[in-house]
Amino acid sequence: MLDAFQLPFMQRAALEVLLLAPLAAILGTQIVLRRLAFYTHGIGSATFPGLVVAGPAGIPPALAALAAGFVFAAGLERLGRLARIAHDAATALLLVGALAIGTVLASDVFESGAGVDQLLFGSLLAIGDSELAISAAVLVLVAITAVGLRRTWIAAGFDSDSSRALGLRVGLADAALLVAIALAVVAALDAVGALLVGSVLVIPAATARLFARSVGSLEALAAAVALVEGLAGLVLAYELDVPPGAAIAVIGGGAFALCALARPALSRLRAGRPAGRPA
């Protein structure tokens, strides 16, 4: 397995995984605690039309994806405020609309059907220096933001009303979190694609939450899980010639399922009871 990482493209892919793992820790923790997984998936899907338009229009893909993500976020906020539609329903409506628009543009307008799979599912093995630079820049921005707002993020995630009563600027912190998630989604697009950003930003933290007993341990474990799953997905993709994004998603989903099934038995063992004896 280590022989594969002697290849330059595998080294770049592994470096991308290394840069995305801290994002899975910092933002994945907040996504899981605040139940923003569907929003994260929606932002990823919303970038699809922007990615389709970017090439023919001569726009940098990251910029087009970010613009599409911000349009999605703004539309979600307006729907919730003016139409009084539930957050999950509004997310679903805009998600379906974004995918439909992207599909029409890809098939009938720009005729970029051959590249649709790469847009939707990523191409981690084709990561270049520019993509690594974007991921590094996003990681720095998110880390700086988290240093300043981590206390407010954690407090608001557990009790938003009490946080406001304590004088914390919850509204500003929430907006910064949503922007940070959008930036992280853009950073992950080239690796896992528009439809599988959850395999990096949601699944590792969701798996870690099954065992973590504090926010700090959740962040540390989420980073470790994201790193291990990402590298394992790389090896699987190289050995079986399958898409890396899909391989990472399969490994992550399987790991979460196994951990969820094993958690009750582990809890009983921690409590000093045999696994087969009822509590």
User: Token pair for residue 278?
Assistant: 């009822």
Is the model's pLDDT at 111 over the cut of 60?
no
Q: How far apart are the first and last CA of the chain?
A: 43
Q: What gap in Å lies between CA 164 and CA 171, rounded to an integer? A: 9
pLDDT tier at 113, thresholds 50, 70, 90: very low
CATH code of domain 2-270 = 1.10.3470.10
pLDDT tier at 116, thresholds 50, 70, 90: low
pLDDT tier at 114, thresholds 50, 70, 90: very low
> DSSP letter string over 35-50?
T-HHHHHHHHHHHHHH
pLDDT tier at 166, thresholds 50, 70, 90: low
pLDDT tier at 217, thresholds 50, 70, 90: very high
Q: List the single range of 20-29, 152-161, 250-259 with lowest mean pLDDT.
A: 152-161
Q: What gap in Å lies between CA 237 and CA 10, rounded to an integer? A: 10
Closest CA to 173 of 18, 39, 30: 30
pLDDT value of residue 70: 87
Q: Which residues contact 210 (CB under 8 A, 6 or more apart)?
A: 256, 259, 260, 263
pLDDT value of residue 85: 75
Give percent of the chain above pLDDT 70: 85
Q: Are 24 and 200 in contact (CB under 8 A)?
A: yes
Strands (E), 220-266: none
**pTM for the full predicted model:** 0.85
Closest CA to 194 of 79, 106, 90, 86: 106
Q: What gap in Å lies between CA 32 and CA 260, rounded to an integer? A: 15
Residue spans of the domains in the chain: they are 2-270
Mean pLDDT of the chain: 84
Residues in the chain: 279
pLDDT value of residue 161: 59
User: Token pair for residue 219?
Assistant: 């962040």
Q: What is the arithmetic mean of pLDDT over 82-106? A: 82
pLDDT value of residue 24: 94
- C-beta neighbour count of 266 within 10 angstroms: 13
199-225 as b/e: b if 16+ CB within 10 A? bbbbbbbbbbbeebeebeebbebbbeb
Q: Are 244 and 124 in contact (CB under 8 A)?
A: yes
Name the more confident of 205 and 91: 205
